[in-house]
Amino acid sequence: MVVNSPSLLTPWTVEPLQIVPTVVIAGLYLKRTRTLAAHGRPVPAWKQWMFWAGIALIVLALNSPIDALGEEHFFFLHMTQHVILGDLAPLCFVLGLNGQILRPVLQFHVVERLRVLAHPFVALPIWAIDLYVWHIPFLYDAALHHDSIHALEHFCFFTAGCLMWEPVIETLPAPAWFGTGMKFGYIAAVRLLETILGNIFIWSSTAFYGVYRHAPEWGITPVHDLNLGGVVMMAEGSIVTAAVLVWLFFRLAREGELRQQLLEQGYDPRQVRRAVRYGRTDDLVRSRPART
């Protein structure tokens, strides 16, 4: 009896439930950025690069061999898919947007009202609940056995990831109190919640999910596979967290420098705080000269 071994050369796949929304969003973004450029308001190149990097990550996660191998053979590859869809791709996606890109969508009253979901005290619980609920064995196994539930799972991971990153990146302004200092605590809370789940996988001596309870493949036992999934979650989270914290540190230092300069030039402290908080110091300087 010949047993087919899983291979990284597994063909790329196309699942309409998952690829169609990606294509639609990519098309709308391309149309909007071209419209803005034609009206003399081009989107910065780095933002466009970040958006398309996010799209590429989504395609990699959903259509490459990572999808098939993770769905049928290895938990750690499925976890790789999930950290791409729930963390890396949303981060790139949010970085690639700004207010003028989203303006046509925000004109819809229902969308405007949904902005509350990006509030830090709302986005963080949504992200945490989504992360933990979908890793409950019953729901996790159901997603692997039903394409529609699997597509819903991926949609939830991506959407919750975008909401989680939005208060940090601030594509649209977050509350005034949620400045750079508060973002440090927010990111620490995100990674603490992820670390708890990651450690459950790393130190478990039992395979949780039915689909992965099979004979060892590639020399990886089901329990070792689960442990590797935790390592993937922890490693990705650590790298992204380190990068974001470095960015926040330099941003905090820059804000302190700008605040001090404007105060020394005689600007009103309340206006200075708001201008520095929302990155509008140039507007403040243009709108009213410093007092001498």
Residue 292 lies in a domain: no
pLDDT of residue 163: 96
In a domain, 88, yes or no: yes
Residue 118 in any domain: the answer is yes
Check whether 86 has a pLDDT greater than 80. yes
The owner of tokens 């309340």 is 270
110-119 long-range contacts, Cβ below 8 Å, gap at least 24? Answer: 115/172, 117/163, 118/163, 118/166, 118/167, 118/172, 118/174, 119/167, 119/174, 119/175
Residue 263 placed within a domain = yes
CA–CA gap between residue 131 and residue 72 (Å, rounded): 21
Q: What is the pLDDT of residues 184-198, one digit of tens each?
A: 999 999 999 999 999
Residue 2 in any domain: the answer is: no
Lowest model confidence (mean pLDDT) among 63-72, 157-166, 218-227: 63-72
Q: Report pLDDT digits (tens) over 120-131.
A: 999 999 999 999
pLDDT, one tens digit per residue, over 144-163 is 888 889 989 999 999 999 99
Q: How confident is the model at residue 290 (pLDDT cuts 50, 70, 90)?
A: low
The number of distinct structural domains making up the chain is: 1
* Mean pLDDT, all residues of the chain: 89
Q: Tell whether 97 is covered by a domain.
A: yes
Average pLDDT over residues 73-77: 91
Range of the domain at 234: 16-287
For residue 90, the model assigns a pLDDT of 97
Question: pLDDT tier at 20 (50, 70, 90 boundaries)?
Answer: confident
pTM reported for the whole predicted model? 0.89
Q: Write b or e for each residue in 211-235: b if 16 or more Cβ atoms lie within 10 A of its Cβ, otherwise e.
A: bbeeeebeebebbebbbbbbebbbe
Residue 117 pLDDT > 90: yes
Q: What is the dihedral of CA 27, 150, 195, 183, to 10 degrees?
A: 30
Check: CB of residue 60 under 8 Å from CB of residue 80: no
Q: Which of 50, 52, 85 is nearest to 67 (CA)?
A: 85
Residue 4 lies in a domain: no
pLDDT of residue 18: 73
pLDDT (mean) for 40-57: 95
